[in-house]
Homo-oligomer: A and B are copies of this chain.
Amino acid sequence: MKLPAPARVGIVGAGQLGRMLALAGIPLGLHCVFLDRGLDAPGAEVAPILVGDLQDPRLLAELASKSDVLTFDWENVPAPALAALGGDVLIRPAPAALEASQDRLREKALFSRLKIPVTPHAAIDSREDLDRALRRLGLPGVLKTRRLGYDGKGQFVIRRAGDVDPACAALGCTDLIYEKFQAFSLEVSIIGARAPSGECVYYPLSANTHADGILHYCIAPYRNASLERQARRYLRRVMEALDYVGVLAIEFFVVGGKLLANEMAPRVHNSGHWTIEGCVTSQFENHLRAICGLPLGSTRALGAAAMINFLGTMPDRGRLLQIDGLAYHDYGKSPRPGRKLGHCTILGARARDRDSALKMALKLISRT
């Protein structure tokens, strides 16, 4: 007997990623329900929400009881909390995939095991470890917490000997990782989706520009056949090793024409927001299709796209909407310095149109 496809999707975390997942689910006839800390979470405007801690076993169980499949806007739910749910609900991606990405050191070990090149790094659990790593790998580099870092948080750049003490003081000197600074020509990311059947689809590469550790803008598709082949191969290796179901993203540094894996995200990813307007099927829809066992959709690009994050303040909407081919995304969040409040995607038939519109948009945004 063929089982009906899951129709109720529980999403742990109701940030902008969850909100855009729920919006993608509505036309598909899927019903999302969230778990997050407050009624002011971006997702709460578009689907029902359970309010409380994202690791609360009682609330996770309640979310599971309202869902055919559980998924994540926030990947740091501890595996034991999920294991406690038993087999009553599908969890996609599986807890093991989340665990692999919750710890930078384990993540790098996974990449290395799969013969995916990574930046030189060392585990730091004491001041002695750090001194040894600095001698071995040299300066400059970045000291990072192994867990719960994102958007440049939980990171400290060590440029000279005098930075070592403040770095240790800021992050503590245990459960850290030291990564040698990588002189790279470019950062790119690849996003793909894997179905329970093992079928995979891949989006075109995105070239990403960061500012202060936070993604600022993306250009996609970034056309480079050789890098694209490498990236797909690496992404496939990770997805297969984890028997992954859903959307997975890997960020890479491009060093001497080769990819070095920086980090992965077992979820939809900021560098894939352009796929909403820029591809036949968005990353959000393909994540839902994958976790619900529906056929994956085409990842074909419809044109040349650029995505710009709105950080800290929202720009003048009326001025931005004057730009031809610009799609505006307001997450409904209250402003706070550096916070991701929204984004826009510019879609041009040709890269030239996109580039001039991108320039105009960046100018307008910096002015507000």
Contacts and interface: CB of A to CB of B under 8 A. Distances in A.
Interface of A: 5, 23, 26-29, 45-46, 277, 280-281, 289, 294-295, 297-298, 300, 302-303, 314, 317-318, 321-322, 324-330, 332, 342, 347, 349
Residue in A5, A277, A281, A303 with the greatest tally of chain B CB atoms within 10 Å: A281
B318 A27 contact: no
Contacts of A297: 321, 326
Given A300-B349, A318-B5, A347-B280, A29 B332 contact: yes
B294 A321 contact: yes
A150 to B, nearest CB: 23
A261 to B, nearest CB: 31
B321 A298 contact: no
Contacts of A330: 27-29
A329 B342 CA distance: 25
Contacts of A281: 327
B27 A321 contact: no
Nearest to A5: B318
A368 to B, nearest CB: 14
A331 B280 CA distance: 20
Contacts of A302: 302-303
Identical subunits present: 2
B26 A321 contact: no
A294 B316 CA distance: 11
A330 B324 CA distance: 30
Contacts of A322: 295
Nearest to A303: B302
A37 B91 CA distance: 38
Given A26-B45, A46-B46, A347-B280, A317 B294 contact: yes
Contacts of A277: 280
Residue in A289, A298, A314 with the greatest tally of chain B CB atoms within 10 Å: A298
Given A29-B330, A280-B347, A325 B303 contact: no
A28 B294 contact: no
A127 to B, nearest CB: 48
A29 B303 CA distance: 25
Contacts of A26: 23, 45-46
A26 B44 CA distance: 12
Give the 4 A-B CB pairs with smallest separation, nearest first.
A29-B330, A295-B321, A27-B329, A295-B322
A93 B191 CA distance: 43
Nearest to A349: B300
Nearest to A332: B29
A5 B317 contact: yes
A27 B317 contact: no
A28 B317 contact: yes
Residue in A321, A347, A349 with the greatest tally of chain B CB atoms within 10 Å: A321
Contacts of A23: 23, 26-27
A287 to B, nearest CB: 14
A322 B297 CA distance: 8
A37 to B, nearest CB: 21
Nearest to A289: B321
A298 B327 CA distance: 10
A277 B282 CA distance: 11
Contacts of A326: 297
Contacts of A28: 317, 328, 330
Given A29-B330, A294-B318, A297-B321, 7 more contacts: A23-B26, A23-B27, A280-B347, A289-B321, A295-B321, A298-B324, A302-B302
